[in-house]
Amino acid sequence: KQEVTQIPAALSVPEGENLVLNCSFTDSAIYNLQWFRQDPGKGLTSLLLIQSSQREQTSGRLNASLDKSSGRSTLYIAASQPGDSATYLCAVDPGGYNKLIFGAGTRLAVHP
Amino acid sequence: DTAVSQTPKYLVTQMGNDKSIKCEQNLGHDTMYWYKQDSKKFLKIMFSYNNKELIINETVPNRFSPKSPDKAHLNLHINSLELGDSAVYFCASSRDPNYGYTFGSGTRLTVV
């Protein structure tokens, strides 16, 4: 049974720091992995999607890597800003089941 | 130009009532989903529909009945509401899992 774990559960940093959020999954047979951002009381915004055959994806200050063999993904946020404050969710698509399995998220606070 | 829209955004109701949540997507996606986010913030799949046909039902009580009148709509009807049904319900859609998932902004259901 696929399980997704995110570490740390919460993170508070000063503006300008580079951050790494971690996601691990127990079954390496995944279709893809997707990182989302959730703002309080709001929906989920897709940040990056990494296919199982890819190693990383980049969008602006965000970079996500995927190591299927070790069951890990990291989300790197460069030069963090207060506007980055949100909960970041990692989700894996186990393939063939039409569903995502989510981690519990990392709650990020970036203070000025 | 909202991609996945849900109504209502907030729903407060008494135990025992029946309520519905509506979802519509204008992305032309074939598959739609309902996810539940509980008080611990875990997001879990409830249902998945492909071209109006149910393909996933993740051991959800049969008080919950999804209905898909066409592939752009997936509504969730809940009978005999219980306190434990209080959660945020998210609708999502996908064209193909290879392209990731798009989520709505959620419906916060509170049963009193």
- The answer on pLDDT for A81 being more than 70 is yes
pLDDT value, residue B59:
77
The amino acid present at A58, given as its one-letter code, is T
Mean pLDDT of B107-111: 96
Q: How far A16 CA sits from the closest chain B CA (Å)?
A: 28
Which of the four pLDDT bands, split at 50, 70 and 90, describes residue A41?
A: confident
Among candidates B35, B44, B97 on the partner chain, residue whose Cβ is nearest the Cβ of A32:
B97
Q: How far A97 CA sits from the closest chain B CA (Å)?
A: 8
Which of the four pLDDT bands, split at 50, 70 and 90, describes residue A82?
A: very high
Contact B97, A98 (CB under 8 A): yes
Measured distance CA(B67)–CA(A19) in Å, rounded? 42
- Chain A residues with CB under 8 Å of B92 CB are 44
Measured distance CA(A76)–CA(A59) in Å, rounded? 10
User: Secondary structure of chain A in the HEC alphabet?
Assistant: CCCEEEECCEEEEECCCCEEEEEEECCCCCCEEEEEEECCCCCEEEEEEEECCCCEEEECCEEEEEECCCCEEEEEECCCCHHHCEEEEEEEECCCCCCCEECCCEEEEEEC
**C-alpha distance from residue A66 to each of A28, A57, B55, B78, B99 (Å):** 11, 9, 28, 38, 16
pLDDT value, residue B1:
64
Mark yes or no for CB contact B97/A89 under 8 Å: no
A81 Cβ contact list (under 8 Å, min separation 6): A15, A110
Q: B62 vs A96, which has greater pLDDT?
A: B62
- The answer on pLDDT for A59 being more than 80 is yes
Which of the four pLDDT bands, split at 50, 70 and 90, describes residue B112?
A: very high
Residue of chain A with shortest Cα separation from B91? A43
- The answer on pLDDT for A21 being more than 80 is yes
Residue of chain B with shortest Cα separation from A99? B45
Strand partners, A25: A4
Among candidates A42, A46, A87 on the partner chain, residue whose Cβ is nearest the Cβ of B105:
A42
Contact B87, B106 (CB under 8 A): no
Mark yes or no for CB contact A87/B98 under 8 Å: no
Residue of chain A with shortest Cα separation from B58? A99
Which of the four pLDDT bands, split at 50, 70 and 90, describes residue A57?
A: very high
Task: Measure CA A93 to chain center.
Answer: 13
Mark yes or no for CB contact B100/A99 under 8 Å: no
Among candidates A42, A98, A100 on the partner chain, residue whose Cβ is nearest the Cβ of B55:
A98
Mean pLDDT of A83-105: 91
DSSP strand pairing (A56-59 vs A62-67) = antiparallel
- The answer on pLDDT for A103 being more than 70 is yes
Interface of B with A (CB under 8 A): 31, 33, 35, 40-45, 48, 50, 55-56, 58, 90, 92, 94, 97-106, 108
Among candidates A44, A51, A105 on the partner chain, residue whose Cβ is nearest the Cβ of B90:
A44
Measured distance CA(A98)–CA(A56) in Å, rounded? 23
